Amino acid sequence: MTEKIIYFDNNATTKPAPEALEEMKPFLTELYGNPSSMHYFGGQVQKYLDIARERAASLIGANPEEIIFTSCGTESDSTAIWSAVRANPERKHIVTTQVEHPAVLNLCKFLQSQGYKVTYLAVDGEGRLNLDELKNAATKETAVVSIMWANNETGVVFPVEEAAQIARAKGALFHTDAVQAAGKIPINLKNSKIDMLSVSGHKLHAPKGVGLLYARKGLKFVPFMMGGHQEKGRRAGTENVPYIVGIGKACELALKNMKHESSRVRALRDSLEKRIVDSIPNTRVNGGKAERIPNTTNISFEYIEGESILLLLSEKGICASSGSACTSGSLEPSHVLMAMQSPHTFAHGSIRFSISVYNTEEEIDFVAKQMADIVARLRKISPFGEGKPTELSLNNGYAG
């Protein structure tokens, strides 16, 4: 393993911003008071929670009282969906998509086992949603429509504002998992029909262990965590003050730098993508024709396995990820690429590069060069030969 890490796996997690860590420090040392305490010491801490709430609200164009701090994106997603179904017990239907994160999909599967009907909307070959399908799927029985803002694997952006209007017209609540969108593209909930929105701290340069849920003012809300009166009774448990301060600072930085950084990051991503596609035959950019967040590219390399590419990248100190999940010894292709009807020979060889504000042109240059070498090496030893379809690949078979 080389010493220097080139970190292109920012949709998995991000480097905490040094500015956020700096602001957190006092709350891990001398400012340890409980913000609910009546004394001056607690009150001092409470002030910083208020600042964090304002900063978080500004990032998404919300009011501070609409922000509920949570422990992660998964908790925010669970809270939102559970709240929606409990607040509307007579409605027994949920609409979501086939390409959501497991944080939403696995909860929906569980609710199905509890008697809920769930409609999983399909996507096209570029990972795009057809809103007419949502219009047909949402009914007076629908408690909640949950559609992600941006896909974590491909970066494809969904038209969530339009989807929220469709849900509202059917009297259903609308939740969006904005974990991969927040901090990367503008979000303004001021005149939005979105009822709930999830954000995760560690995806936008705050540390792990903190997230937030936007819950529209006036929304009928049933808490997931019940207990004390924290977060206006919407999420019990003593607040994780240092981490809330951290996510507040990270939100402030993301908003301040978004305009400049999103175009810089997009240029880096586009350059990496172009160099790889131009230099390596039999590749395809998954979702490349759709609208995407600026930092993500998901590229399939036909006839080789994503995991082999990852291992060789890792030897060079490059961190990326593949969509496959290793379950009980067999590698399942990504559910997102399967929903996009990606042929098996491509779906097994997909790599996601997700970059951040901390990445540089030199790193893009290095990774593009390494990719050309690695893919050529792997194709030489591939049982499928150097790009010639075999009987197995034509049958959509998968060896290993």
What residues line the site for ligand PLP (CB under 6 A)?
Answer: 72-74, 77, 101, 103, 148, 152, 177, 179-180, 200, 202, 211
Residue 73 or 183 having the CB closest to ligand PLP: 73
Residue 106: CB minimum distance to ligand PLP, A? 11
Residue 237: CB minimum distance to ligand PLP, A? 16
Residue 45 or 103 having the CB closest to ligand PLP: 103
What is the per-residue DSSP string for 136-185? Answer: HH--TTEEEEE--SB-TTT-BBP-HHHHHHHHHHTT-EEEEE-TTTTTTS
How does strand 142-146 pair with strand 93-97? parallel
Residue 209: CB minimum distance to ligand PLP, A? 9
Q: Are 9 and 153 in contact (CB under 8 A)?
A: no
**Residue 333 carries which DSSP code?**
P
How does strand 325-327 pair with strand 330-332? antiparallel
Is 326 annotated as catalytic? Answer: yes
Residue 10 or 393 having the CB closest to ligand PLP: 10
Tell me the two tokens of residue 96: 């979501």
What is the per-residue DSSP string for 298-312? Answer: EEEETTS-HHHHHHH
Residue 36: what residue type?
Answer: S
The Cα 159–Cα 132 span in angstroms is 12
Instruction: List Cα–Cα distances, 165 to 153, 290, 292, 299, in angstroms.
Output: 26, 22, 21, 33
Residue 180 or 334 having the CB closest to ligand PLP: 180
Residue 214: CB minimum distance to ligand PLP, A? 14
The Cα 210–Cα 244 span in angstroms is 7
Tell me the two tokens of residue 343: 């042929």
Torsion of CA 160, 161, 163, 165, to 10 degrees: 160
Q: Please give the residue whose beta carbon sits closest to ligand PLP in the complex.
A: 73
Residue 295: CB minimum distance to ligand PLP, A? 12
Residue 74: CB minimum distance to ligand PLP, A? 3
The Cα 135–Cα 140 span in angstroms is 12
The Cα 35–Cα 15 span in angstroms is 28
Residue 78 or 393 having the CB closest to ligand PLP: 78
Residue 149 or 303 having the CB closest to ligand PLP: 149
Residue 59 or 148 having the CB closest to ligand PLP: 148
Residue 155: CB minimum distance to ligand PLP, A? 11
Question: Helices 241-279 and 18-28: crossing angle, nearest 10°?
Answer: 160
The Cα 159–Cα 97 span in angstroms is 13
Catalytic positions are 326
